[in-house]
Protein backbone atom coordinates (compact mmCIF):
# COMPACT_ATOMS: atom_id res chain seq x y z
CA UNK A 1 0.00 0.00 0.00
CA UNK A 2 1.42 3.36 -1.07
CA UNK A 3 -1.20 5.92 -0.04
CA UNK A 4 -4.41 6.24 1.97
CA UNK A 5 -6.82 8.81 3.37
CA UNK A 6 -9.84 9.05 5.67
CA UNK A 7 -13.12 10.50 4.44
CA UNK A 8 -16.82 11.02 5.09
CA UNK A 9 -19.52 9.63 2.82
CA UNK A 10 -21.61 12.51 1.49
CA UNK A 11 -24.01 10.54 -0.71
CA UNK A 12 -24.57 9.26 -4.24
CA UNK A 13 -25.24 11.09 -7.50
CA UNK A 14 -24.48 10.72 -11.19
CA UNK A 15 -22.19 12.53 -13.58
CA UNK A 16 -21.73 12.43 -17.34
CA UNK A 17 -18.51 11.69 -19.22
CA UNK A 18 -17.34 13.31 -22.45
CA UNK A 19 -19.42 10.95 -24.58
CA UNK A 20 -22.57 11.51 -22.53
CA UNK A 21 -22.63 8.21 -20.64
CA UNK A 22 -24.14 8.29 -17.16
CA UNK A 23 -21.75 7.24 -14.37
CA UNK A 24 -23.18 6.53 -10.89
CA UNK A 25 -20.75 7.86 -8.29
CA UNK A 26 -20.39 8.14 -4.54
CA UNK A 27 -19.16 11.51 -3.26
CA UNK A 28 -16.67 11.36 -0.40
CA UNK A 29 -15.28 14.31 1.55
CA UNK A 30 -11.72 13.10 2.04
CA UNK A 31 -9.21 14.89 4.25
CA UNK A 32 -7.29 16.90 4.85
CA UNK A 33 -5.84 14.36 7.28
CA UNK A 34 -2.99 15.21 9.61
CA UNK A 35 -0.21 12.72 10.31
CA UNK A 36 -0.43 12.14 14.07
CA UNK A 37 2.18 9.38 14.30
CA UNK A 38 4.76 7.71 12.07
CA UNK A 39 6.01 4.18 12.67
CA UNK A 40 9.21 2.76 11.18
CA UNK A 41 10.77 -0.66 10.82
CA UNK A 42 13.71 0.31 13.05
CA UNK A 43 11.52 1.43 15.96
CA UNK A 44 8.21 -0.42 15.61
CA UNK A 45 8.97 -3.32 13.27
CA UNK A 46 6.88 -2.00 10.35
CA UNK A 47 6.19 1.17 8.38
CA UNK A 48 2.89 2.93 9.01
CA UNK A 49 1.22 6.32 9.29
CA UNK A 50 -1.51 7.23 11.77
CA UNK A 51 -3.88 9.76 10.22
CA UNK A 52 -6.35 12.02 11.99
CA UNK A 53 -9.56 13.32 10.42
CA UNK A 54 -12.33 15.78 11.32
CA UNK A 55 -12.04 18.61 13.80
CA UNK A 56 -13.18 17.98 17.38
CA UNK A 57 -13.43 20.05 20.56
CA UNK A 58 -10.96 19.28 23.33
CA UNK A 59 -13.77 18.49 25.80
CA UNK A 60 -14.83 15.50 23.68
CA UNK A 61 -11.45 13.74 24.05
CA UNK A 62 -10.14 11.80 27.02
CA UNK A 63 -6.84 12.45 28.76
CA UNK A 64 -4.89 9.84 26.80
CA UNK A 65 -6.08 11.20 23.47
CA UNK A 66 -5.24 14.77 24.44
CA UNK A 67 -1.74 13.70 25.46
CA UNK A 68 -1.26 11.81 22.20
CA UNK A 69 -2.03 14.89 20.10
CA UNK A 70 -0.04 17.17 22.39
CA UNK A 71 3.06 14.98 22.11
CA UNK A 72 2.83 15.08 18.32
CA UNK A 73 2.03 18.83 18.38
CA UNK A 74 -0.78 18.41 15.85
CA UNK A 75 -4.42 19.58 15.84
CA UNK A 76 -6.88 17.37 17.71
CA UNK A 77 -8.96 15.10 15.50
CA UNK A 78 -12.07 13.01 16.05
CA UNK A 79 -11.03 9.93 14.07
CA UNK A 80 -7.68 8.14 14.05
CA UNK A 81 -6.68 5.33 11.70
CA UNK A 82 -3.35 3.62 11.09
CA UNK A 83 -2.35 2.62 7.56
CA UNK A 84 0.64 0.46 6.70
CA UNK A 85 2.28 2.48 3.95
CA UNK A 86 5.47 1.54 2.11
CA UNK A 87 8.04 4.15 1.15
CA UNK A 88 6.06 7.02 2.62
CA UNK A 89 7.86 10.35 2.83
CA UNK A 90 5.26 12.11 5.01
CA UNK A 91 6.22 13.07 8.56
CA UNK A 92 4.32 13.95 11.73
CA UNK A 93 2.45 17.21 11.25
CA UNK A 94 2.10 16.88 7.48
CA UNK A 95 -1.33 16.94 5.86
CA UNK A 96 -2.63 14.32 3.42
CA UNK A 97 -5.10 15.76 0.89
CA UNK A 98 -7.18 14.44 -2.01
CA UNK A 99 -4.39 15.50 -4.37
CA UNK A 100 -2.60 12.34 -3.26
CA UNK A 101 -4.96 10.46 -5.58
CA UNK A 102 -5.75 11.09 -9.24
CA UNK A 103 -8.72 10.48 -11.52
CA UNK A 104 -8.60 7.08 -13.18
CA UNK A 105 -6.84 5.32 -10.31
CA UNK A 106 -8.25 2.18 -8.67
CA UNK A 107 -8.85 2.25 -4.90
CA UNK A 108 -10.24 0.04 -2.13
CA UNK A 109 -12.85 1.61 0.15
CA UNK A 110 -13.62 0.34 3.66
CA UNK A 111 -16.75 1.34 5.55
CA UNK A 112 -19.26 0.14 8.14
CA UNK A 113 -22.54 -1.11 6.69
CA UNK A 114 -25.91 0.11 7.90
CA UNK A 115 -27.00 -1.64 11.10
CA UNK A 116 -30.36 -3.37 10.77
CA UNK A 117 -30.51 -4.88 14.23
CA UNK A 118 -31.75 -8.40 15.00
CA UNK A 119 -33.51 -9.68 11.88
CA UNK A 120 -35.01 -12.94 10.70
CA UNK A 121 -33.44 -15.38 8.28
CA UNK A 122 -35.60 -14.20 5.37
CA UNK A 123 -34.21 -10.67 5.45
CA UNK A 124 -30.74 -11.55 6.70
CA UNK A 125 -29.94 -14.36 4.23
CA UNK A 126 -32.58 -13.83 1.52
CA UNK A 127 -34.07 -17.30 2.10
CA UNK A 128 -37.32 -18.39 0.50
CA UNK A 129 -40.54 -18.02 2.46
CA UNK A 130 -42.50 -21.13 3.41
CA UNK A 131 -45.78 -21.98 1.70
CA UNK A 132 -48.80 -19.89 2.65
CA UNK A 133 -51.28 -22.81 2.48
CA UNK A 134 -51.51 -26.52 3.29
CA UNK A 135 -51.33 -26.12 7.02
CA UNK A 136 -48.04 -24.21 7.29
CA UNK A 137 -49.46 -22.05 10.04
CA UNK A 138 -48.11 -18.67 11.26
CA UNK A 139 -44.46 -19.49 10.50
CA UNK A 140 -44.17 -18.30 6.92
CA UNK A 141 -40.96 -16.37 7.56
CA UNK A 142 -39.09 -19.04 9.54
CA UNK A 143 -36.13 -20.98 8.21
CA UNK A 144 -37.82 -24.35 7.79
CA UNK A 145 -35.99 -27.56 8.69
CA UNK A 146 -33.15 -27.04 11.16
CA UNK A 147 -31.40 -30.39 10.91
CA UNK A 148 -31.76 -34.17 10.79
CA UNK A 149 -32.44 -36.92 13.35
CA UNK A 150 -28.81 -38.00 13.38
CA UNK A 151 -26.65 -36.33 14.76
CA UNK A 152 -29.66 -34.56 16.35
CA UNK A 153 -28.10 -31.14 16.47
CA UNK A 154 -27.81 -28.01 14.34
CA UNK A 155 -24.61 -27.76 12.34
CA UNK A 156 -22.36 -24.73 12.60
CA UNK A 157 -22.81 -21.91 10.07
CA UNK A 158 -26.52 -22.64 9.70
CA UNK A 159 -28.20 -19.57 8.27
CA UNK A 160 -30.44 -18.36 11.07
CA UNK A 161 -31.82 -15.14 12.55
CA UNK A 162 -29.39 -12.76 14.21
CA UNK A 163 -27.50 -9.47 14.01
CA UNK A 164 -27.58 -8.06 10.47
CA UNK A 165 -25.37 -5.23 9.24
CA UNK A 166 -23.13 -2.92 11.29
CA UNK A 167 -19.99 -4.72 10.12
CA UNK A 168 -16.83 -3.56 8.39
CA UNK A 169 -16.83 -4.23 4.65
CA UNK A 170 -14.19 -3.45 2.01
CA UNK A 171 -15.07 -3.00 -1.67
CA UNK A 172 -12.12 -3.59 -4.00
CA UNK A 173 -11.06 -2.05 -7.32
CA UNK A 174 -13.30 1.00 -7.45
CA UNK A 175 -12.41 3.68 -9.98
CA UNK A 176 -11.89 7.34 -9.12
CA UNK A 177 -13.91 9.36 -11.62
CA UNK A 178 -13.25 12.92 -10.48
CA UNK A 179 -11.41 14.88 -7.80
CA UNK A 180 -12.27 18.37 -6.51
CA UNK A 181 -9.22 19.69 -4.68
CA UNK A 182 -10.86 22.93 -3.57
CA UNK A 183 -13.73 21.17 -1.75
CA UNK A 184 -11.74 18.04 -0.78
CA UNK A 185 -14.15 15.77 -2.66
CA UNK A 186 -13.58 12.45 -4.42
CA UNK A 187 -16.13 10.93 -6.81
CA UNK A 188 -15.81 7.14 -6.90
CA UNK A 189 -17.71 5.02 -9.39
CA UNK A 190 -20.31 2.74 -7.79
CA UNK A 191 -21.59 2.29 -4.26
CA UNK A 192 -19.60 1.97 -1.05
CA UNK A 193 -20.62 0.55 2.35
CA UNK A 194 -22.24 2.73 4.99
CA UNK A 195 -24.85 5.39 5.49
CA UNK A 196 -24.53 9.09 4.73
CA UNK A 197 -21.95 10.86 6.91
CA UNK A 198 -20.32 7.50 7.67
CA UNK A 199 -16.53 7.39 8.01
CA UNK A 200 -14.70 5.51 5.24
CA UNK A 201 -11.08 4.62 4.60
CA UNK A 202 -9.65 4.91 1.09
CA UNK A 203 -6.42 3.25 0.01
CA UNK A 204 -4.83 2.39 -3.32
CA UNK A 205 -6.01 -0.94 -4.65
CA UNK A 206 -4.10 -4.03 -3.56
CA UNK A 207 -5.10 -5.91 -6.73
CA UNK A 208 -4.58 -3.23 -9.36
With cut-offs at 50, 70 and 90, classify the pLDDT of residue 150: confident
Distance CA 53, CA 157 (A): 38
Distance CA 10, CA 208 (A): 26
Please give the pLDDT value at position 179: 94
Distance CA 18, CA 29 (A): 24
56 vs 147: which has the higher pLDDT? 56
pLDDT in tens, 41-99: 888 888 899 999 999 998 999 999 999 999 989 999 999 999 998 777 888 888 999 99
Q: What is the pTM of this model?
A: 0.86
Residue 23 contacts residue 17 (beta carbons within 8 Å): yes
Closest CA to 81 of 44, 49, 125: 49
| Statement: residue 143 has pLDDT above 80 | yes
Closest CA to 166 of 203, 195, 190: 195
Distance CA 45, CA 40 (A): 6
**Which domains can be identified in the chain, with CATH numbers?**
4-116+168-204 (2.40.30.10), 117-164 (4.10.960.10)
| Statement: residue 206 has pLDDT above 80 | yes
Amino acid sequence: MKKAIIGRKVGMTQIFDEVGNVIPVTIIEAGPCVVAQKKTVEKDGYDALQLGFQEVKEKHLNKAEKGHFAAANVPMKKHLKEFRLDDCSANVGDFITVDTFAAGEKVDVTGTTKGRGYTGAIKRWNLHMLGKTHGIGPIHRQSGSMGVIDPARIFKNKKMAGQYGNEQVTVLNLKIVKIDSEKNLIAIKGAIPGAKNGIVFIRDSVKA
